[in-house]
């Protein structure tokens, strides 16, 4: 999408993007919940930040249906579940008028089975009007949990949400949020943003959320993902994917469809980049700290 061709302000376009995808979902019989950005209850984000794209959480069984419906209504696939993020949780589409939309099939940090987690959110949803369209959104405690879990992946960014929705929340609301975190089995990821992650240092996901929340190299993140896998076979699958070229990201970097030669060159380049990244990281750890007097 050429941003110079967009005549409406981003904040307005985002609201219309939420409304547009809700219309598509309703027509296709798809259950989805609007999360983050313009869908957040104003009391939870008083500064009014709307983000840069539209995010929705889709009932897992309805992912194929929303994919087909979006393509039919002018959205183009931008990045896939497999290559869109290390967690494989979201797929991105772009529309000439409405911009980018992320379709989430689950939310990182929630270890409850995706269909069960969606049902938990869906059962306590309510309608929230965005650009004149009634959009379904999770309850306020659920929105708070999602914002904190999202902050856990921001590597020190967007932590203002943690302050607003958790640290400054009333005691009763904190109890509601904590109870929901427990039901979602999201305690490790939640602690990565809200504090107390060291309490889970023996959990299989500890290293992953340590790297993700504090920032770290891509190689360190891949090793953490392998170690956090729930089964040996899942860890093997992640390890086999690690050296593969992310064709979606390469295409975006090049600004065109990669050729077989482009992919081959990137495949060879990646191990050298990983070694350099590791050496650079080790150098930072070994460098003596300057004593400030």
pTM, entire model: 0.79
CB 54 within 8 A of CB 21: yes
Residue 18 CB-half CA count within 13 A: 32
Q: Environment class of residue 121 by beta-carbon count within 10 Å: exposed (0-12), middle (13-18) or buried (19+)?
A: buried
Indicate whether 281 belongs to any domain. Answer: no
Indicate whether 148 belongs to any domain. Answer: no
Indicate whether 174 belongs to any domain. Answer: no
**Six-digit token string for 101:** 């939309």
CB 16 within 8 A of CB 98: yes
pLDDT in tens, 246-292: 555 555 565 666 565 554 555 455 554 544 444 444 444 445 444 33
pLDDT of residue 232: 65
**Hunting for tokens 């427990």 — which residue is that?**
182
Indicate whether 10 belongs to any domain. Answer: yes
Helix (H) or strand (E) holding 114: helix 114-122
pLDDT of residue 269: 58
What is the domain count for the chain?
1
CB 93 within 8 A of CB 78: yes
**Six-digit token string for 21:** 């995808």
Helices (H) and strands (E) in the chain, counts: 13, 7
Indicate whether 115 belongs to any domain. Answer: yes
Q: How many CB atoms lie within 10 A of CB 237?
A: 12
pLDDT in tens, 172-187: 999 999 999 999 999 9
Helix (H) or strand (E) holding 77: strand 76-79
pLDDT of residue 106: 95
pLDDT in tens, 137-179: 999 999 999 999 999 987 554 678 899 999 999 999 999 999 9
Helix (H, G, I), strand (E, B) or coil at 90: strand
CB < 8 Å & 24+ apart, contacts of 84-87: 84/248, 86/221, 86/222, 86/225
Question: 53 or 51: whose pLDDT is higher?
Answer: 53
d(CA 12, CA 4): 16
Q: 29 pLDDT exceeds 90? A: yes
- Residue 7 maps to which CATH number? 3.30.460.10
CB 135 within 8 A of CB 19: yes
Q: Write out the residue range of the structural domain in which residue 93 sits.
A: 1-140
Question: 227 or 11: whose pLDDT is higher?
Answer: 11
Maximum Cα interatomic distance, the chain, rounded to a whole number of Å: 66
d(CA 256, CA 277): 27
Least confident of 83-87, 191-195, 269-273, 281-285: 281-285
Q: 293 pLDDT exceeds 50? A: no
Indicate whether 58 belongs to any domain. Answer: yes
Q: Report the percentage of the chain scoring pLDDT > 90.
A: 54
Indicate whether 46 belongs to any domain. Answer: yes
Q: 4 pLDDT exceeds 90? A: no
Indicate whether 6 belongs to any domain. Answer: yes
Mean pLDDT of 106-112: 96
pLDDT in tens, 222-248: 677 777 777 766 656 666 565 554 555
Q: How many CB atoms lie within 10 A of CB 217?
A: 16
d(CA 153, CA 253): 22
């Amino acid at each position: 999408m050429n941003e110079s061709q967009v005549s409406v302000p981003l904040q307005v376009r985002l609201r219309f993007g939420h409304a547009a995808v809700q219309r598509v979902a309703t027509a296709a019989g798809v259950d989805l919940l609007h999360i983050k950005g313009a869908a957040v209850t104003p009391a939870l984000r008083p500064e009014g930040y709307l983000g840069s794209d539209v995010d929705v959480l889709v009932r897992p069984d309805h992912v194929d249906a929303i994919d087909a419906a979006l393509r039919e209504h002018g959205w183009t696939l931008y990045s896939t579940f497999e290559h869109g993020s290390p967690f494989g949780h979201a797929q991105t589409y772009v529309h000439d008028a409405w911009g980018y939309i992320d379709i989430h099939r689950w939310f990182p940090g929630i270890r409850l089975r995706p269909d069960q987690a969606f049902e938990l959110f869906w059962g306590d949803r309510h309608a929230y009007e965005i650009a004149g369209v009634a959009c379904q959104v999770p309850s306020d405690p659920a929105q708070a949990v999602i914002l904190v879990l999202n902050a856990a992946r921001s590597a020190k960014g967007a932590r203002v949400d943690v302050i607003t929705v958790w640290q400054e929340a009333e005691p009763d609301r904190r109890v509601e949020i904590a109870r929901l975190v427990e039901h979602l089995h999201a305690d490790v990821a939640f602690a990565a943003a809200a504090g107390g992650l060291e309490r889970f240092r023996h959990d299989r996901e500890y290293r992953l959320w340590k790297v993700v929340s504090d920032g770290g190299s891509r190689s360190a993140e891949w090793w953490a993902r392998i170690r956090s896998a729930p089964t040996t076979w899942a860890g093997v699958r992640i390890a086999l994917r690690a050296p593969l070229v992310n064709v979606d990201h390469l295409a975006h970097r090049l600004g065109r469809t990669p050729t077989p030669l482009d992919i081959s060159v990137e495949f060879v380049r990646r191990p050298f980049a990983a070694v350099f990244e590791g050496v650079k990281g080790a150098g930072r750890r070994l460098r003596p700290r300057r004593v400030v007097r």
